[in-house]
Structure 1
Amino acid sequence: MTYGFYISLLSITGDSLEPAILSFTSGFNLISGGSDTGKSFAFSCLDYMLGKIEAPDGIPESVGYNNIYLEIKTYSGKTFTLLRNINGGDFVVKESSYKDFFSSKATIKNYSVHSQSNTSISDFFLSLSGIDPDIQIKSTQQNKKKRFTFTTLRNLTFIDETTITIKTSPIYGNQGYLDYTYYKNSLSFLLTGKNANDLINFEDAKNKKSWNNGRLDFVNSQIIHFNDNLQNLISEKLSLKTAKEEPIDTLFDRLEKLNTTLQNYVSERTDILNKVEEKNSLVIYKTELLKRLSLLLEHYLSDQYRLDFILNGDQLLNQLNSVDCPICDSTLGEEKANYLSHNMGNSIKVEKEKISLKIKDLETTIVDNQEELGSLSTELDHLKAKSEKVDRLIKEILTPSLDNLKASIETFNRLEKLNAQIEIYSNELNYYNKEQTGLQDTSENPLSSSTTNDGFGIKELTKIIEKILRKWDYQDNTHIDFNSDHKVYDIVIGGKPRGSYGKGMRSISYTAFILSILKYCLKESRPFSNLLVFDSPLTTYHRGGELINKKDEEISQDIQNSFFKDFSKLGNDCQVIMFDNKTPNIKLIEKINFIYFTKDKNKGRYGLFPT
């Protein structure tokens, strides 16, 4: 698991002024260029936006600018934008990108700059770093303690141009002597997780012995507790083990493909059902139409039968003899009678022919519609069969496969959580086992050892520092020892105290020391911000801005080349931001996020602020 976060953007804004923006990436970022171009001001703004109470000292170019925005991204994929007035005050934080800060509907949260507040920016940054905000650190030899804050972490990881050359230990930095114990144990906490939350303040040896015995009982109970929980976790892990374990990326690829296939078939089924509905509507329409056509045919046949009946009746009438009119004695002439009979017969025959044509057309229409109805029924049967087939595929194959794949992913995630819990419980168990041994050894003489094992983890750190300095061609003899004297607490390089070297070489070794903490925490998956910021590690600072080329303050070109080459190899699981006048060669520039201030208004970017 990668803890921490990296800075992706710094923006300084003012009314009617073009923003001053710096974009960063994970890995190595170098901001280079001449003096008085805003590099140190940018460093101060980053320090300020990560919780420093004091506002940055203004420079002429910053006049009219009033707000600073900082966009940060966690290694778990979250993005936050922080807003703070350039002259001081608390923070406004939103889980959104800088670009979407004002349009996003995410909740706005306010954080106090003071670590004692219930909603402090220190707690916010500590949580992103994987560190419990309630951690206590031993601050005196009498076991008094103070909270570990992000300010402590920032003092260890944000190194300005004056601090980087000091003779005192990089762990102590510019802190006063009374804070040495606190910062020494803060380092121990970062390296091992060892804290003072359970530490009891004791006043004398008798109380200490009593506390020691009570602590031993507590430690024994914790060993039993963590051991039992560890066994349960291991048993659950074994029960979840499958015969074939696939990488999580493969499982997600399969899940995406299966989801796509399922959606395609669901869409196909929907199309089929729409077609079935459409065809059913046509069947209903055609059936109703055939009923009406059949009724119309019956009417036509009835009319045809009626006309035939009239013709047959006329023939019968013709066989009757005509008589005089009983009223007027007029005689119906035979010629007139025949005329009437002939005209009526012709009209009926014409009407009958019309009806016969209509019957013929209607019968053809009925046959056509019956054929269409048959075709529709066949199509419906085919569509229903296809729908049933797709439905069976979805219900019997795709959905169960999708459920099984989701179950595999859930199992994988559960195994990941179990592994993380097992690691945590194992570390806790190892910690309490070591403490048990220490408590048993000191039970007879409570004054014989410290209850916090100050300096634990330093040995491994010195190995990393030695490896770094060799990569940087620091000097022929880079063997590292450690002087654990409370006042010194610093490395010894080639038999010579680090503080006795010239400013330039002290700056390099200071950088190596701080970088070793980052590398150690990454290697051991320790909670850490995984963010370092250095100001002028290669350019020796002198008060008044004057650079004196003394031999013991120069940093050779070979060291500079090796220094930049090593930093260019940093991975994407951490971030180092460096401000310096020095620049690497063109091949290395292409491998890093490089920003250059030209101090020339006609060439490139002049400096931090737009000209």
Structure 2
Amino acid sequence: MRNFTLTHLTYAGSGKPTAQVIFSPTFTLIYGSSDTGKTFIVNSIDYMLGGHVAPSIPRARGYSQILLGLQLSDGSPVTLVRRPGSNRIHVHHADLRDLAHAPADTVLSARRTRSGHDISHRLLSYLGMEGSYIRTSEEGNTDILKITDLAHLSLVTDSRMVSSTPPSQRVRNSTAKTISRSVMRLLLTGEEEPPASRVPNAAQRRVQRGQISLIDQLVIELTAKLTAQENESELGRRLSRLNGTLEELTRSLREETSRQTETVAARTQLAAAQSEIATRLGEISDLLGRFGILRQQYESDLARLEMVSEAGNLLGYFQVGRCVFCGADPEHQHPQHGIEESTHLHDAVIAENSKTHALLADLKLTIADLETQREELTQRYALALSHSQELDLAIERLEAGLLPVNARLDQVLTERSEVERNLEVLARIGELDERRTELVSTGALPSKRSEPFTPARAVTSFDAVLQRTLDAWHVPDTANASYDPYGGDIRAGGSFRADRGAGMRALLHAAFSTALARYCLDRELPHPGFIVFDSPLVTYREPDHDEDDYIPPDVNDHFYRHFLDFPCQTIIVENSAPPPDVVEQAHVIHFRRGSNRRAGFFPPLDDDHEADDAGTTEETHPRLE
């Protein structure tokens, strides 16, 4: 994109000390007390860019040349030299900063000429806008764009800053209103006005006007459905960011879900193992219960055998009569009968006792082994239970961690759907705008029409930039800021700029020019490449001023800081001091009367003061290149 920056403004004269200010390619602030030449600097720049009224103050008498330095987009230097009151401007393809004596490379007229040999054509050629047409009347007349039609949008004097004239217009009249609409359309869309040509007949125009009215109504209805003030590019970038966020959330959700699935599977396997252990513990407990009863039975049998053995001996030896062992009567018993029977019984008891002891020993070994198994299984069950509790807590944590991810995922999906709907609406509006442009270009409107058409999506995009600018400055009561492409004024906080107080009018005018510069530069649309403001922070109030026009003190700081990283060369002339961080980062020139610092644009007349000021110019900061 082609543009140029201002490098310096110099007043030179034979026998006069040079008066000069050097501009940073980024941000230059000139502030100080009144009557020090600040406004004179802005008016001089305006004059050198094709203005017709030469700035005049008593201190400027005797200066014969005004030099304005430019740097083109390719880095080439250009110096414009003009004598105050002259209609001729000398163009030097060099960086001159003192009284010029060498012949000029080109001498141009300050006023427009038929041949195009004028400063307007030359400056527009630097911008790549020479030969562009704009509408000059409601009847459909067109003319070549002039630099004065464009410069007032970038250079705002103090009188225009607070004027109730719409910021898009240089003066207030019907012709200027038509021209300003056409120029704004050129800047917002990059489309110039086609030269006047033959139009369709009345019947064809009636049909086409009906189509245009229908398209306008559809555009209004579609615009009402938009839920954001972003343009297609901004929405596309937001959609791309949302898709990236969605991929990250999906990947995170997939990872968390995978971990949750693995944890649940481990918990399920552990639950199965716990069930097997519990089943085995139940079986062992049942066996131990039965073996305990059997053990008691064995021990009882051993006790009875011992008792039988003892009782048999006793009964066999001392009892007379029928044999207690075999039941034989005395007459059938031989002499050793009792002893033999007792011996046989004793042997039988011993044999049974040995057998029972052997069975009991085996049973005890079995019981001991089962108790060992039960102890091991009990420990394993306790460990499994502890691990289960840990897995349960881990599952709960994973589920709790998935909640915000799912909530964010739902939010991103909702936002993406909204962006896609807005993109669809904007695409439809774009199609309708193109169709309307086709109808207009074929002469659908009669030769006399109320206003040129600016596409709704371009106005909506510019409105978004304007609102962001006011928000960045923290200007109160400026919600829903918008530009009226028909009236040329801007509305903010429910009121037009013309209906606000002087201080708010100045801020809104500055915001309009600032937003226009950013809009054009961001989209590589035509723009001079610089903005110059005279007293944008004026806080004029009548004695009975309305509190609605009150400007908070922090607006001053946010206003200045906004231009530290602004993509356009900015030159501001103000009375108020900037915050310290702006002084450190910007190129600041402070005019102070009654000090040994710089007293104003022109060097002091007093010789002593001139000596004091000889080595004092601007405060140089890192941003000055």
Shared fold (TM-score, shorter chain, > 0.5): yes
Which residue is equivalent to 2:10? 11
Letter in 2 for 1:90: R
Q: Report the counterpart of residue 490 of structure 1 in structure 2.
A: 489
Q: 1:150 aligns with which of 147, 150, 159?
A: 147
Aligned equivalents of 2:107, 2:197: Cα separation in 1 = 35
Q: Give the Å deviation of 1:522.
A: 0.5
Deviation at 1:477, TM superposition (A): 5.3
Q: Is the CA contact 1:505–1:555 (under 8 Å) kept in the aligned structure 2?
A: yes
Asked if residue 24 in structure 1 is aligned to residue 23 in structure 2, the reply is: yes
Matched, 1:192 2:189: yes
Q: CA deviation at 1:481?
A: 3.6
- Secondary structure of the residue that 1:458 maps to in structure 2? helix
Q: Secondary structure at the match of 1:466?
A: helix
Deviation of residue 479 (structure 1)?
A: 2.0
| Structure 1 unaligned blocks of 5 or more | 213-429
Residues in 2 aligned to 1:532 and 1:41: alpha-carbon distance in whole angstroms: 16
**Cα distance, 1:603 vs structure 2:** 2.1
Separation of aligned partners in 2, 1:99 and 1:441: 50
Aligned to 1:583: 577
CA–CA separation in structure 1 for the residues paired with 2:484 and 2:166 = 10
Match of 2:64, as an amino acid?
N
Classify the secondary structure of the residue corresponding to 1:470: helix
Query: Which letter does structure 1 place at the counterpart of 2:505?
Result: R
For residue 460 of structure 1, report the CA deviation from its aligned partner. Answer: 1.0
Counterpart of 2:565 in 1: which secondary structure? Answer: coil
Query: What is residue 599 of structure 1 aligned with on the other side?
Result: 593
| Equivalent residues in 2 for 1:188-587, closer than 5 Å | 188-200=185-197, 205-206=202-203, 435=434, 438-439=437-438, 452-454=452-454, 457-475=458-476, 478-484=479-485, 486=486, 488-540=487-539, 551=547, 554-571=550-567, 574-587=568-581
Distance 1:446-1:533 versus aligned 2 partners, 3 A rule:
closer
TM-score, length-scaled by structure 2:
0.56
2:476 counterpart SS class: coil
**Alignment size in residue pairs:** 382
Larger CA deviation: 549-558 vs 456-465: 549-558
* Distance verdict in 2 for CA 1:202–1:32, change over 3 Å: same
Output the amino acid matched with 2:583: I
Query: What amino acid maps onto 1:36 in structure 2?
Result: D
For 1:68 and 1:12, locate their aligned partners in 2 and report how far apart those are by CA, in whole Å.
5
Distance 2:99 2:58 in 1: 28
Q: Distance in 2 between matches of 1:198 and 1:441?
A: 13
Residue in 2 aligned with 1:289? none
Alignment partner, residue 112 of structure 2: 115
Q: Cα deviation per residue 1:499-557 (whole Å; 9 max; x = unaligned)?
A: 22211111111110111110011111012111111111112469xxx999775555321
Alpha-carbon distance between aligned partners in 1 of 2:481 and 2:27, rounded to the nearest angstrom: 26
> Partner letter of residue 166 of structure 1?
S
| TM-superposed deviation, 1:178 | 2.7
Amino acid at match of 1:23: I
- The answer on whether the counterparts of 1:144 and 1:201 sit within 8 Å (CA) in structure 2 is no
- Normalised by the length of structure 1, the TM-score is 0.57
**How far off is 1:452 after superposition?**
4.6
SS in 2 for 1:517: helix
Give the superposed CA RMSD: 3.3
Matched-pair contact (CA < 8 Å) for 1:504–1:539: yes
More off after superposition, 158-167 vs 43-52: 158-167
Give the CA deviation at 1:66.
1.5
Equivalent residues of 2:12, 2:99 under 8 A apart = no
Partners of 1:476 and 1:593 in 2: how far apart?
A: 31
Equivalent residues of 1:82, 1:92 under 8 A apart: yes
Shift in CA distance, 162/444, structure 1 to aligned 2, threshold 3 Å: closer
What is the deviation of 1:203? 9.5
Equivalent in the alignment of 1:346: none
One-letter code of the match for 1:576? Answer: T
SS in 1 for 2:107: strand
Offset at residue 439 of structure 1 (A): 3.5
Are the counterparts in 2 of residues 162 and 541 from structure 1 also a CA contact under 8 Å? no
Identity fraction in percent: 26
Q: Give the conservation status (yes or no) of the 8 Å contact 1:478–1:493.
A: yes
C-alpha contact 1:69 1:84 (8 A) present in aligned 2: yes
Larger radius of gyration: 2
Going from structure 1 to structure 2, the CA distance change for 1:445 and 1:515 (only over 3 Å counts) comes to closer
Match of 2:57 in 1: 59
Q: Rate the CA distance shift 1:564–1:145 in 2: closer, same or farther, 3 A.
A: same
Give the whole-Å Cα distance in 2 for the aligned partners of 1:548 and 1:605. Answer: 37
Residues 470 and 478, structure 2, Cα contact 8 Å, conserved in 1: no
Task: Go from structure 1 to structure 2 and tell me whether the alpha carbon gap of 1:547 and 1:584 turns closer, same or farther (over 3 Å shift).
Answer: farther
**Deviation (angstroms), 1:142:** 2.5
Asked if 2 retains the 8 angstrom alpha-carbon contact of 1:535 and 1:578, the reply is: yes
**Which secondary structure state, in structure 1, belongs to the residue aligned with residue 491 of structure 2?**
strand
Q: How far apart in 2 are the matches of 1:207 and 1:101?
A: 63
Please name the residue that 2:332 is paired with. Answer: none
User: What are structure 2's unaligned runs of at least 5 residues?
Assistant: 210-428, 605-625
Give the match's secondary structure for 1:82.
strand
Deviates more, 1:201-210 or 1:23-32: 201-210
> Does the 8 Å contact 1:14/1:64 carry over to 2?
yes
One-letter amino acid of the structure 2 residue matched with residue 27 of structure 1: T
Q: Check conservation: 2:138, 2:449, Cα contact below 8 A.
A: no
Are 2:12 and 2:98, in contact at CA under 8 Å, matched by a contact in 1? no
2: CA distance, partners of 1:524 / 1:506:
27
Q: Is 1:35 matched with 2:38? A: no
Deviation at 1:48, TM superposition (A): 0.7
Q: How big is each residue's C-alpha offset from its partner over 1:391-448, in whole Å with a ceiling of 9 and x where there is no partner?
A: xxxxxxxxxxxxxxxxxxxxxxxxxxxxxxxxxxxxxxx9999645643699897669
SS in 1 for 2:531: strand
Aligned in 2, Cα 1:207/1:121: closer, same or farther, shift over 3 Å? farther
Cα offset for 1:172?
Answer: 2.0
Aligned equivalent of 1:327: none
